[in-house]
Structure formats: C-alpha cells, structure tokens
C-alpha cells in the first residue's frame, strides 16, 4: 500500500489537455533588488520586530512578515482558533480555544508577489508512477492569499511582505464567522474600522497572530444595543518537520483518531483508501535495550506544562492525570514517556509562552463553560502529533459536583453536599485530565468499553477498586450509579483500564525492524487477534445509536438492570435535595440546577434502555475472523426493555414530582416538563430507523419480537386506564396524546417522506390507530371520570380526522 515513495499533495502546476497550436508562455518575472523599496524605508527604526520562524515587524498600523528564502515552499500547518468569543456565541457550543480550521500552506514566490497556497495530502502517488502527473493535475492547489513583495534584505536572504490585509480583511478560510452564523446573527459586514491586529509573536518553529474581527449584526448573541459581534482570532503557523515520521496504518478494531488517504498506485481496480493514526513520535533512546524487552526512555518525551493560571490547589491532580498514562506507555516499552511540569519561572525559561508550539500546555480557562477538551496539532502528511493544549474550563467542576450528588448521594455520604470534599473532587479532576490527555494522545471515545463488565460487578468493592467502572478511561462512565447504599467500599469514580494499556501498546510500540507501514501490519494484526473475543478489548465509538452496548454514560453489560439500580438511587436522592443544596440566606438556585440535571440523567437512563429495542450488537472484525459483525439484540432483552419503559418511563413519575421542591423553584411547569420528557422517549422508541431494524430482523433473523408486538405492549401500558377503568391523570393524558400523535405523524407525512411511504411502517401505524380507535369506542365509558371520557372522545376524533384526510 505505501511501499513507495509517498508524494503527498501538489508540488507544481501542470499544463494539461490537448492543444492544436503552440501556446504563448509568459516567463515569470524575476525579482531584482532594484525593483523594491530600500529595506530601511519599509522596516523603519520605529518598527517593533520579533525574530523567530519569520521575523515579524509592526510599523505603525501595518504588519510585515520577513520570510527567509529557505522557507518558501516549505510545509506549514496553519491552525485557526477562536481565542475570545462573546457569551452565547454559537448557542454556547463555541468557546475560547475552539478550532475553526486546520490546513497546510506553503508560501510561494511568484515574480514580485508571494502567494499562500493551501496544500492537500489526501491523494498520493509514487513520483515515478505514470499516474503521478494526473494526481498533480487533478489536485491543483488554491491560493489563499496573495501580496506583493515590499523589500528584501541586503543579502537577498529574506523577502518582506505586507500581511496586514490577511488578518484585517475577511479571509474565509481563517475567520470565525461562518455562513451559518452570519445568517443566524444577521451579519451585514466586517467593520474594518473596528478590526485590527492585536498581538504578534514569532517563535523558532511557529508564528502566532491574534487579531480582532468586528462584524455589524442585527441580532448579536449579547449586548444587542451595540449591534456588533467581536471575535478575537488566534492564527498559528507551525513549521512541519522535514524528517517525516513513518505513518502507522489504522485498524478500525482499535480506536484511534485517523487521517484519510487515497493511494492511486494501488493494484486494486480503484484508488486504495485507508487511514493512518494520529500519534506522537516516540523513539527509544536505546534501540537494542528496547529490543531486549527493557523499559527505555524515548529520545523526546511528551511534556505537558501547567498553565501559570492553574490554581496551586489543583496542580497535583492535573499532574497525576497526565502522568497516569506512563503506566500505559510502559506496556509499549517506554518509561517516563509523558511528563507533567509546573510552569517555568522567568529565570528558568524567559522565553516560555503557552502559544509557542514547542510547549504543550494544560490551559486553565476562567470561563463559565462546563467542559474540558483535548485537541492536538497534527501533521496531516504522517499523522504525527506536533503539540497539544488540554483546555480545562473552570466551571467544569460544577458538572462533576452535581453528578456526584445525584448519582452517588444515596450511597456515599461525601456526595451529599455542594462542597464536595477535595479527595473526591480532586480524583474527578485527575480522571478528567487523564481522559483529555487520552484524546491528545490520539484515542477517541470508546463507548463500548463499559459493556465488558457484568453490571453487578460494579457493586463489588474488590472488583471496582481493581478494575474501575469500565475497561477504558475513554468511555463516558463518570460516576458509579449502579452501586447501592448497602454496597460498602466500592469505587465511585472512573479510572484507566486494561483497554487503554492495550490501545497505547498497539499505537505506540516501536517496531525497529519495520521499514514501511506495510511491514508493521502482520504484527499489529497479531496483537488484535490475541485479544479477539474478549469484550474488554473491543472498541465502539457509540455512533449510529443502534448498539446498546456502545452508549455514553451507560454502565455495565445489562442496561436495563443498570438503569433500575440508577433509578432506585435517584428515588432516594430527590427527598434530600433541599437539605443538600441550600444554605441559609441564599435562594434556591442550586436546588433548581441540580434538580434539572437530575431529570436529564433520568432521561439518559431511559434512553440506555430504549436502545435495546430493535438494537443490534456490533463486534468489529476483519474478513479473516470467524463470525459476523452485526447481531440483533435477543428477543427476551427487547421485551424486558419495553416492560421497563412501561413501568418507569410511561408511568407518571410521582417520585420526581416532589411538591416541596417544585414549590421552591417554579410557579408552574411540572406537567409540561414530564410531557416533554415522555414524548421524547416515546419518539426515540418509535423512530423510523428502529422500526425498520425490527422489521428487517423479523424477516432475516426470525425474530419473535415483532413491531406489532412492540406496539401492542406499548398500547397496553400507555392506555392501561382504558382497560382497568381508572381515571387518566394530566400526565397520562399528555402521554396518550403523544402516542396517537406519533402514529398520526407517520400517516400525515407519507407524501413528504418517500422513504417511509414505501415501508411497512405506514401499514403498521394505520392498523394500530384502527385497533386503538376500536378499543376507545368500546371502553370509553368504563371510567366514571368525565374528563377521562372527554379525553378518549378527543383521541377518537383525532384518529377520525386523519382517516378522513386519506
């Protein structure tokens, strides 16, 4: 696949096509020193200069780059990030540090001009291959920006260009205001009078520019009277290494962030598309000792510095979270592979800056955002991670404090306070940092990991203290909500597990005898096959929503049992929330926040169960392994899941509707809240993809739990009052209307949704409504409650209306 010399991207423009006459070729202009202004007339004594990769000069309101001749046509990675953003921008999902774009550029001299060209390394061909010219010709690089050469150094070793417009004009590829946001905020234009270059710094391997972009907007996210949106952008240009790291070919059975490639020299009857993993370059100092199985330090370890803004109280936990990964790297043969350091003092390192690409930093951001992220800067040619900045937002602690109270308050006395003890909150911070460092090492989420452990094992102190809550820190399994109050000594907070050690060994083990990526494949496959069949070492990203064993925040193999345990704990927590969240002299804001988050977690427990219905287990395999990849969830598990939903999702949650709490946080809203939650669960359960999977499983796999049985079980549960003559309360009336509305929605959208119109879903929903109408007509007078009877008549009228429109 890659046994050739890889030529990535476009190196030159080619003239292609048939010609009937000799073209007139205009020779490019060649620059002469006399063509430009004298150096000291452009870079005057007033210039503020900074030497580094490019020497930068600020002269009055202009910015100049002095580009060494040796750096033209070199690969630079350009990373555009939002450094500061208005509150609420992007609906709160865009925060300081958010990456906008990442691209490789080359500064190219063209006569008296300099162009910035955007390079692509996706399509590849051997330089000696006949198809190489076609790959070049069909991947012509776009010009991002062009500017004139203003002057040159006396020895002609560098050229000076004015790049002010690059950062003060609107260049689409590097700004933070995309078309969607322009429309959302009704942006009129970029106001150049309020857009300017803020800071410029040049380092040995990168150049950093911060610039303010101000837009006139009719509906800005905040301070509407100003009529503007201002964004501080940070542009990083990083010199990529000439000595390229050998890529490692990805395998979808082991989770890694990847980069896609197309090899046009493939002997297959198509371009060969494959992935390479994103990883740091770790090479042993002593190759022979490494070959002999000794732990060896890498030539260049991965070093993370703490942000100087990090509170000293939390620094030990941040360091532990970073260096926890040394245990995993030891499985790959490295010792001291990753190191955490305090920020250096001015005396220790006067040039230290978090913006310098030579330093990877855990940044501590004073923000109300409740999140942490682990982005990295990657060489797209090889997958080598150049540097990374872990971002910790200050208010993320709030999320863990609340979750700990909700999910462990019934079992753990230390969770019954807003002032979570430092031992617990510090351990949570440590594991969050470890999770984000995992991303920065190249590992994506492994949502399937938690399903490897039997659910009841999470109630065992011995098991959880040894193995944690899940085999991977990269799973979302933050708090042990399965453990019950009588279970003593269990672990409540996630930790690194065996999958993480396995994945790091697979991705980072140095194979000194391999000269090409293809040479590594046999050994990499062997490691996977050695673990095949063991769920502890399986990977699943959790995307697609069809595999109940690959879900975020889910714990254990049995999702129904786990949710039963979680709900049992929640029911004990709710009566205590007032006591645990209030303080004399303060309002009930904290109570309202925690109660709202408890409802969200309850919904998550229900979703975990829903996914079993029409679910399909995915076990990633290659063609040389026995067995299939996809297996339908067994019928008895699906039926048990529906029974759970009838009892816990579609029965009025009296335990949640705590009058003492509701009367303290709202004047009204409980009925609408429960209606919204139940309707969302019902729509998720009866969505098109799930129903189609059930129909297909019945046909192809002889599944005994068919869609008609699902609808019958739901009808009996949701309309139980119809059969027992009981009064229908307000919550249940809303739920029953929602059920009818889902079925009607399918029939009303036949013409709009051609995909559904050609399936059995329409026939099923029509038949279900007819059956329900018949039962409503027969049983509507079985209750003595007048409003219940009116409600039944209304449902009949709704059904009649959709049938009359046919």
Asked whether residue 44 carries a pLDDT value surpassing 60, the answer given is: yes
Distance CA 301, CA 112 (A): 43
Q: Regarding beta strands 360-365 and 385-393, do their DSSP bridges make them parallel or antiparallel, or are they unpaired?
A: parallel
User: Residue 713 above 80 pLDDT?
Assistant: yes
pLDDT band at 682 (very low <50, low <70, confident <90, very high): very high
Higher-confidence position of 715 and 20: 715
Q: Is pLDDT of 12 > 90?
A: no
Tokens encoding 171: 């260049």
Number of neighbours of residue 198 by Cβ within 10 angstroms: 14
From residue 620, alpha-carbon distances to 331, 534, 617, 631, 706 in Å are 23, 12, 10, 11, 26
pLDDT for 788 equals: 93
Residues 6+ apart with CB under 8 A from 533: none
**Tokens found for residue 66:** 């002095």
pLDDT at 219 over 90: no
**Which pLDDT band, with edges at 50, 70 and 90, does 268 fall under?**
low
Average pLDDT (737-764) is 84
- Encode pLDDT of 127-147 as tens digits: 556 554 554 555 568 899 999
DSSP assigned state of 7? E
Most confident of 252-266, 497-511, 666-680, 750-764: 497-511
| DSSP single-letter state for residue 169 | S
Do 5 and 127 touch, CB atoms closer than 8 A?
yes
Residue 2 confidence (pLDDT):
44
SS3 762: helix
pLDDT of residue 392: 84
Q: Residue 182: which pLDDT band, with cuts at 50, 70 and 90?
A: confident
Question: Does residue 113 register a pLDDT over 90?
Answer: yes
Phi, psi for residue 82 in degrees, rounded to 5: -90, 120
Cα(95)–Cα(369) distance, rounded to whole angstroms? 8
Burial of 789 (0-12, 13-18, 19+ CB in 10 A): middle
**What is the bridge-based pairing of β-strands 187-190 and 206-217?**
antiparallel
Q: What percent of the chain has pLDDT over 70?
A: 90
Structure tokens at 564: 């039963």
Q: What pLDDT, on a 0 to 100 scale, did the predictor assign at position 421?
A: 95
Q: What is the pLDDT of residues 598-614, one digit of tens each?
A: 999 999 999 999 999 99
Q: What is the mean pLDDT of residues 208-212?
A: 94
Dist CA 555 CA 169 (whole Å): 50
Q: Residue 222: which pLDDT band, with cuts at 50, 70 and 90?
A: confident
Locus of tokens 């193999």: 557
Whole-angstrom distance, CA of residue 541 vs CA of residue 543: 6
Higher pLDDT, 42 or 181: 42
Asked if residue 659 has pLDDT above 80, the reply is yes
Structure tokens at 82: 């939002």
DSSP string for residues in 249-283? B--TTS---EEEEEETT-SSSS-EEEEEE-B----
Average pLDDT rounded to a whole number, residues 32-54: 89
- Which of the two residues, 693 and 359, has the higher pLDDT score? 693
What's the mean pLDDT when you consider all of the chain?
89
pLDDT value, residue 752: 65
Collapsing DSSP to helix, strand or coil, 738 comes out as helix
pLDDT at 404 over 70: yes
Band (pLDDT 50/70/90 cuts) for residue 350 is confident
pLDDT digits (tens, 9 = 90+) for 573-607: 999 999 999 999 999 999 999 999 999 999 999 99
113-122, 332-341, 624-633: the lowest-pLDDT one: 113-122
Q: Which of 36-50, 81-95, 669-683, 787-801 has the lowest mean pLDDT?
A: 81-95
Give the pLDDT of residue 269.
44
pLDDT at 122: 61
Q: Which of 186-190, 289-293, 540-544, 747-751 has the highest mean pLDDT?
A: 289-293
Least confident of 57-66, 234-243, 347-356: 347-356
């Amino acid at each position: 696949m890659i046994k050739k010399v890889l030529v990535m991207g476009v190196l030159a423009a080619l003239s292609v096509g048939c010609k009937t006459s000799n073209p007139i070729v205009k020779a490019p202009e060649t620059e002469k020193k006399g063509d430009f202004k004298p150096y000291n007339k452009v870079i005057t004594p007033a210039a503020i200069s900074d030497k580094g990769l490019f020497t930068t000069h600020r002269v009055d309101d202009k910015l100049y780059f002095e580009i060494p001749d040796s750096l033209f046509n070199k690969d630079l990675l350009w990373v555009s990030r939002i450094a500061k953003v208005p509150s609420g921008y992007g609906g709160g999902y865009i925060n300081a540090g958010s990456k906008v774009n990442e691209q490789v550029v080359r500064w190219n001299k063209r006569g008296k001009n300099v162009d910035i060209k955007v390079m692509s390394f996706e399509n590849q061909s051997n330089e000696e291959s006949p198809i190489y010219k076609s790959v070049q010709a069909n991947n012509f690089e776009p010009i991002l920006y062009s500017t004139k050469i203003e002057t040159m150094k006396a020895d002609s070793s560098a050229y000076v260009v004015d790049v002010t417009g690059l950062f003060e004009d609107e260049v689409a590829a590097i700004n933070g205001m995309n078309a969607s946001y322009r429309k959302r905020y009704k942006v009129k234009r970029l106001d150049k009078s309020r857009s300017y270059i803020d800071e410029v710094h040049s380092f040995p391997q990168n150049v950093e520019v911060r610039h303010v972009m101000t837009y006139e907007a009719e509906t800005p996210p905040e301070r509407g009277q100003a009529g503007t949106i201002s964004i501080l952008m940070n542009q990083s240009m990083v010199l990529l290494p000439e000595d390229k790291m050998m890529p490692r070919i990805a395998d979808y059975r082991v989770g890694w962030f990847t980069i896609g490639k197309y090899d046009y020299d493939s002997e297959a009857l198509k371009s060969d598309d494959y992935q390479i993993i994103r990883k740091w370059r770790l090479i042993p100092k002593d190759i022979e000792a490494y070959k002999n199985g000794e732990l060896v330090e890498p030539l260049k370890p991965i070093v993370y510095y703490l942000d100087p803004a990090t509170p000293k109280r939390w620094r030990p936990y941040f360091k532990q979270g970073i260096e926890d990964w040394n245990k995993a790297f030891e499985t790959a043969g490295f010792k001291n592979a990753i190191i955490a350091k305090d920020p250096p003092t001015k005396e220790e390192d006067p040039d230290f800056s978090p913006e310098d690409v030579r330093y990877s930093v855990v940044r501590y951001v004073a923000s109300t955002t409740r999140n942490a992220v682990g982005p990295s800067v990657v060489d797209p040619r090889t997958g080598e991670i150049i540097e990374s900045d872990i971002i910790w937002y200050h208010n993320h602690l709030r999320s863990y404090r609340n979750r700990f109270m909700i999910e462990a308050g019934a079992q753990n006395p230390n969770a019954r306070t807003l002032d979570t003890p430092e031992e617990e909150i510090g351990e949570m911070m440590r594991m969050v940092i470890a999770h984000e460092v995992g991303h920065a090492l190249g590992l994506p989420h492994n949502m399937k990991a938690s399903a490897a452990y039997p659910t009841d094992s999470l109630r065992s102190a011995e098991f959880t203290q040894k193995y944690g809550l899940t085999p991977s820190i990269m799973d979302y399994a933050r708090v042990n909500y399965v453990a019950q109050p009588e279970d003593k000594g269990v672990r409540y907070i996630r930790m690194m597990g065996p999958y993480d050690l396995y994945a790091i060994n697979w991705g980072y083990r140095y194979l000194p005898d391999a000269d090409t990526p293809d040479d590594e494949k046999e050994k990499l496959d062997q490691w996977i096959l050695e673990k095949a069949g063991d769920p502890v070492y399986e990977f699943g990203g959790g995307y697609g929503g069809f595999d109940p064993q690959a879900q975020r925040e889910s714990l254990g193999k049995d999702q129904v049992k786990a949710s039963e345990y979680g709900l049992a704990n929640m029911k004990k927590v709710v009566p205590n929330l007032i006591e645990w969240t209030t303080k004399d002299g303060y309002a009930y804001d904290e109570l309202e926040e925690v109660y709202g988050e408890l409802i969200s977690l309850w919904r998550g427990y229900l979703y975990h169960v829903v996914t079993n219905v029409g679910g399909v287990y995915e076990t990633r395999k290659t063609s040389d392994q026995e067995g299939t990849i996809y297996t339908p969830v067994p019928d008895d598990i699906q039926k048990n899941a529906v029974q759970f939903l009838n009892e816990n999702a579609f029965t009025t949650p009296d335990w949640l509707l705590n009058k003492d709490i509701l009367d303290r946080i709202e004047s009204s809203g409980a009925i609408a809240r429960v209606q919204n939650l139940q309707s969302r669960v019902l729509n998720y359960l009866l969505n098109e993809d799930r129903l189609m999977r059930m129909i297909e499983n019945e046909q192809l796999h002889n599944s005994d739990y068919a869609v008609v049985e699902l609808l019958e079980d739901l009808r009996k549960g949701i309309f139980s009052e119809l059969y027992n003559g009981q009064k229908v309360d307000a919550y249940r009336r809303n739920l029953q209307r929602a059920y009818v509305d889902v079925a009607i929605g399918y029939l009303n959208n036949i013409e709009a949704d051609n995909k559904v119109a050609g399936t059995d879903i329409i026939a099923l929903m029509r038949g279900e409504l007819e059956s329900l109408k018949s039962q409503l007509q027969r049983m509507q007078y079985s209750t003595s409650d007048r409003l219940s009877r009116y409600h039944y008549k209304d449902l009949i009228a709704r059904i009649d209306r959709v049938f009359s429109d046919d």
